[in-house]
Amino acid sequence: MAATHPLLVVVLLAAVVLAVAATPAAAAAGNGTTSSSAPTAYEMLEKYDFPRGILPVGVEGYELREDGRFEVYFPRDCEFMLARTWLVRYGARIAGAAASGQLTSLQGVYVKVLFVWLPVGEVDRSGDTLSFYIGPVSTSFPLSDFAHSPHCRGYDHLPAAAAAAAADAVAACDLSRDG
């Protein structure tokens, strides 16, 4: 049992080093401004008069068609608290249609009300307020609630390969204890 602990530490340390080395490249791919001419998903939101903070950290890519239809991709589902009140879930793929100050026909965006996940169908901007529509019902938030992109619950910000290696190392350690 004592021999597995140093091995576990080495594997976890290697996973962290890989994560730190990959972080700048991952940040440039979706979250920050890159030197390429293609704008990020966050920059495109601003072109449609929405704050960057409506999208959580971790966008892996997006597609935007000429008619405004879009798809945004995350590594996996993402949950975060909105205004310390609402638990919101973005699927690994969200889609909809964008126009100035309006996101409609949303797919993959949900809010938890009591014990039920309800789909958010539309988000509208009016002045300094964003309104989220769940069927015929809406709730509004000040733009200041979207000054920064939220972090997803459970995202450890490690690249998937490093996180998988760390999980495998922990599982191997647990299996060696059983034997």
* Residue 92: φ, ψ to 5°: -60, -20
How many other β-carbons are positioned within 10 Å of the β-carbon of residue 88?
19
- Assigned domain for 74 exists: yes
pLDDT at 8: 34
- Assigned domain for 162 exists: yes
pLDDT at 154: 76
pLDDT at 37: 78
Mean of the per-residue pLDDT values for the chain? 78
Say how many domains are in the chain: 2
Name which residue leads in pLDDT, 16 or 134: 134
Range of the domain at 12: 4-27+158-178
pLDDT digits (tens, 9 = 90+) for 11-30: 333 333 333 333 333 443 44
- Assigned domain for 151 exists: no
**Range 50-76 burial, b when 16+ CB lie within 10 A, else e:** bbbbbbbbbbeebebeeebebbbbbbe
**Confidence tier at 118 by pLDDT (50, 70, 90):** very high
pLDDT digits (tens, 9 = 90+) for 34-91: 446 789 999 999 999 999 999 999 999 999 999 999 999 999 999 999 988 899 999 9
User: How many Å apart are CA 161 and CA 171, to the nearest integer?
Assistant: 15
- 93 and 17 in one domain? no
pLDDT at 84: 86
Would you say 106 and 95 are in contact if contact means Cβ atoms under 8 Å apart? Answer: yes
Which amino acid, one-letter code, is at 22? A
Token code pair at residue 84: 């310390």
- Assigned domain for 109 exists: yes
